[in-house]
Chains A and B, each alone.
Chain A
Amino acid sequence: MFGWEFPPRNSGGLGTACYGLTKALARNNIQITLVLPYDVDTNSHDFLKIVSSPNIKIRKVKSVLTPYLSSSEYENLISRRGGRTANQIYGSNLFDEVNRYAALAVDIAKDEDFDIIHCHDWMTYKAGINAKKVSGKPLVVHVHSIEYDRTGGNGYNPFVHEIERCGMEFADYVIPVSNYTKNLIMQHYGIPSEKIVVVHNAIDNDYDVVSYLHHKLKEGNKIVLFLGRITLQKGPDYFIYAAKKALEIDPNIIFVVAGKGDMENRLIDKTAELGIADRVLFTGFLSGKSIDDIYRMADLYVMPSVSEPFGLTCLESMKNGTPVLISKQSGVSEVVNHCLKVDFWDVDQMVNKMMAVLKHDELREEMRQNGFNEVKKFCWDTPAKKCIEVYKRALHWVTV
């Protein structure tokens, strides 16, 4: 299994998804050798919980790979770490890094004993292809997100696209996290439908309800939350336009934007320009318990994504008992019932539903309760079992 992002070091749904899936696969008697970047914190509590499974073995590759990195951000990261001279183990740019990761995968593939190769998103695809070439074992690539989503179709990186295409073509099976992503894969990468098996994400249900109600710091305000990378793909600008319209109807609302990203500064400027800067709070990057806290503090979670392969935050919010309003352009909207759905561009409709949730306690309560119950059915065992079925097909143990 080639992955890289893992809790508690998350910057998106990817790490959470890999973590949940790996744990559930191990629970279902699959033995996994997990290949991770060097700088994953293997001493953390969460991490040790994974390693404690006899079915999981960790191999680390020295790298600074993180999933949503662009080439320029990579340059910054290198210089922050004291420059290239100080740290010769890192490659000189992101693509060198991908290639180096892939080269090291060859060694791992030679001395490990395994039946199948499972890769998560483009940075590991070359590693997966190499491992397949060396071992002759089938390759499964898991698509949590594609270049098209990350860029909204603009400023598309052709090299990333090419790696994605290559990985999917080399793969025996491709596992996207939604039908939405499956369609994009067929459209933009020309992968035939027979090779694609959709496996929707899930969520872990092991958390304690006790700390609930600790956070009602409201003073007569309602709180609406955005949580995610502040980048084009996640639609934070639609959230801000909706905030403006909503505040014209009811000024007693606070809009919280939790996360970081390339659009952050522009978004802050925008709130000032719209005259709502005092009503929009930017929290910066949150992790761990503060994520749960912020969900519980909110009266409504809004996920206005322009293009969202899955959207795990929707399930996280429901798990925390917070009603959700999500864009119809998200994979999660294919599987969740007890939420409100809008087109990301339909700001008026977003405001309409937002205001109804804030105004009517009975609506909020019904959504809270039914959503909390619904999210229980999303257990990682289901996606894990579907992946195992894909393994069997790839190994020709079963015919389709």
Chain B
Amino acid sequence: MVDVCFYFQVHQPYRLRDYSIFEIGNNSHYYYDDKNRSVLRKVAHKCYLPANKTILNLIKKHPEFKASYSFSGVVLDQFEEYAPDVLNSFQELVDTGNVEVLDETYYHSLAFVYSIDEFKKQVGMHRKKVKELFNYKPKVFRNTELIYNNYLAKNAEEMGYEGVIAEGADHVLGWRSPNFVYRPYTTSKIKLLLKNYRLSDDIAFRFSCREWKEFPLYADKFAGWVNQVNGNGHCVNLFMDYETFGEHQWQETGIFNFLDHLPNEIFKHPDNGFVTPTELVRKHEPVGELDIPYMVSWADVERDLSAWLGNRMQQSALNSIFQLEKDVKSINDQKLLHDWRRLQTSDMYYYMCTKWFNDGDVHKYFNPYDSPYDAFIIFMNILNDMKLRIAKAKTEVEKNGLCTGNVCIQ
């Protein structure tokens, strides 16, 4: 039998405004509020609200239908700020009991690559936020952009998670199949779920592609592919951005109809069904151990860190932001800490990617700036303003002698 496991990623960054060199030291509001609000409202209208409605109807129609979500903390903040209606509809989904919520870093951060201490703090913040909004305690962890290696699994295990998620990239799997549950190398309890990227990308990327030989993709055909896994796999993990529904694939492509009909087609094969990640890891013992010493992710064809760390601007920006960690944490300034963390959001570095800037591909589509160079300039100006704030706070601390060193770390 084959279990389909849906996990949808829900994330929107706090985009930075066009912050100029002349504002450094004069203005410490960094966010492009109008744009953030309008993007969130647009995506709510095109994706979140209609997709949630579809999922809720599916659950009513098929009590065995399951799905799971991972929300970045920053998108939850933006829901509270700009779209409480969206938050309500997600809460309604979680309340059905058929929907599971995963944990991740609060700020959709690349902290795991740079600071394990910061990483753990943000996971803790996320856990608290999910508890507060959904009254839910996640048992499966997914890291930003599915960035993963053995060490991530080990940390997730130490933090008490039962499962962890990674990209089922060919270069880590080799001859192995993503359609089983694995045990990460160096761990003893936690289980690893791998994205079936072929079937996931058929929906997320190829669904409306007219050059694709399988176009048009209907639910019955897709259910047939899922069924083929019978006999040589336990699960089909369909992991994708939630914005696939209605935003990346517009409503006109028929994506909502596809989603609406898929469960019915899956259930036509009596052996097949839907599970949440937690159900999946509890149901199966690992078929083997998987050793992934280097970082993999779900981004671009390379499935590595090059979307955020591929050029010198990105490396420099990331190094610079994490160099501030010690100073930021030695000062008791919640606003500064919050700003520093928002700047860790992976999108900031994605906007600086020059890999395919020539071709005007997805990187350009998602980029609110004119070019990767502009993204870098804005980021570094803001970083310099933060440095000034840090320097100012440090002199005040020295002058007043109120707070020194580690005393102020929260």
A residues contacting B by CB (< 8 A) are: 249, 337-341, 348-349, 351-353, 355-356, 359-360, 362-363, 365-367, 370, 374
Stretch in contact with the other chain, from B86-94, B138-146, B366-374: B366-374
A362: chain B residues at CB < 8 Å are 311-313, 315-316
Stretch in contact with the other chain, from B111-119, B279-287, B376-384: B376-384
Q: List 13 A-B contacts (CB under 8 A).
A: A337-B357, A338-B358, A340-B377, A341-B371, A348-B20, A349-B20, A352-B22, A352-B381, A353-B374, A365-B312, A366-B312, A367-B373, A370-B357
B311: chain A residues at CB < 8 Å are 362, 366
Contact A356 B312 (CB under 8 A): no
Contact A352 B370 (CB under 8 A): no
Q: A352-B377, A353-B377 known; A360 and B316 CB under 8 Å?
A: yes
With both beta carbons as reference points, the residue of chain B lying nearest to A351 in the complex is identified as B21
- Bound-complex Cα distance A349 to B378 (A): 11
A352: chain B residues at CB < 8 Å are 20-22, 377, 381
A348: chain B residues at CB < 8 Å are 20, 22
With both beta carbons as reference points, the residue of chain B lying nearest to A353 in the complex is identified as B377
- Bound-complex Cα distance A352 to B377 (A): 8
Contact B371 A337 (CB under 8 A): yes
With both beta carbons as reference points, the residue of chain B lying nearest to A356 in the complex is identified as B377
Q: A337-B357, A337-B358, A352-B381 known; A366 and B20 CB under 8 Å?
A: no
Task: State the Cβ distance, A318 to closest chain B Cβ, in Å.
Answer: 13
| Max chain A C-beta neighbours (<10 A), residue from B370, B373, B377 | B373
Task: State the Cβ distance, B106 to closest chain A Cβ, in Å.
Answer: 28
Contact A363 B21 (CB under 8 A): no
Q: Which of B21, B22, B357, B370 contacts A356 (CB 8 A)?
A: B21
- Bound-complex Cα distance A374 to B371 (A): 14
Contact B377 A363 (CB under 8 A): yes
Interface of chain B: mostly helix, strand, loop or mixed = helix
Contact B354 A370 (CB under 8 A): yes
Task: State the Cβ distance, A328 to closest chain B Cβ, in Å.
Answer: 9
- Bound-complex Cα distance A338 to B360 (A): 12
Counting from the closest, the 6 A-B pairs by CB-CB distance are: A362-B312, A356-B377, A362-B316, A352-B20, A352-B21, A362-B313
Can you name 16 extra interface pairs (CB under 8 A) apart from A340-B371, A363-B376, A363-B377?
A249-B21, A337-B357, A338-B373, A341-B370, A341-B371, A348-B20, A352-B22, A352-B377, A353-B377, A356-B376, A356-B377, A362-B316, A363-B313, A366-B354, A366-B372, A370-B354
B22: chain A residues at CB < 8 Å are 348, 351-352
B315: chain A residues at CB < 8 Å are 362
Q: Which of B20, B357, B377 contacts A338 (CB 8 A)?
A: B357
- Bound-complex Cα distance A249 to B20 (A): 13
B20: chain A residues at CB < 8 Å are 348-349, 352
CB-CB contacts below 8 Å: B66-113 with A: none
Task: State the Cβ distance, B395 to closest chain A Cβ, in Å.
Answer: 22
Task: State the Cβ distance, B379 to closest chain A Cβ, in Å.
Answer: 10
Q: A348-B20, A348-B22 known; A363 and B373 CB under 8 Å?
A: yes
- Bound-complex Cα distance A23 to B303 (A): 45
- Bound-complex Cα distance A250 to B285 (A): 64
A370: chain B residues at CB < 8 Å are 354, 357
Contact A360 B357 (CB under 8 A): no
Task: State the Cβ distance, B369 to closest chain A Cβ, in Å.
Answer: 11
With both beta carbons as reference points, the residue of chain A lying nearest to B316 in the complex is identified as A362
With both beta carbons as reference points, the residue of chain A lying nearest to B376 in the complex is identified as A363
B312: chain A residues at CB < 8 Å are 362, 365-366
A338: chain B residues at CB < 8 Å are 354, 357-358, 371, 373
